[in-house]
Amino acid sequence: MQAYCFKCRKKVEIKDPQKVILKNGRPATRGLCPACGTKVFRIGQG
């Protein structure tokens, strides 16, 4: 699964993805950028 890294300014493959549920009940995926280690987040792909 891919997410946008704001530090690298490109789409990257999510490293160590974790499924999370937002407060409104929507699914999301959270993880790290493999290049720089910044947190990346993708909504709706739970």
In which domain, by residue range, is 15 found? 2-43
pLDDT at 8: 95
pLDDT at 32: 97
Q: Is the pLDDT of residue 35 over 80?
A: yes
In the chain, pLDDT over 90 holds for what percent of residues?
A: 93
Number of domains in the chain: 1
The chain-wide mean pLDDT, for the chain, equals: 94
Q: pTM of the entire structure?
A: 0.83
User: What is the rounded average pLDDT of the residues 2-7?
Assistant: 96
The DSSP result for 1-46, as a single string, is -EEEETTTTEEEEPEEEEEEE-TTS-EEEEEE-TTT--EEEEES--
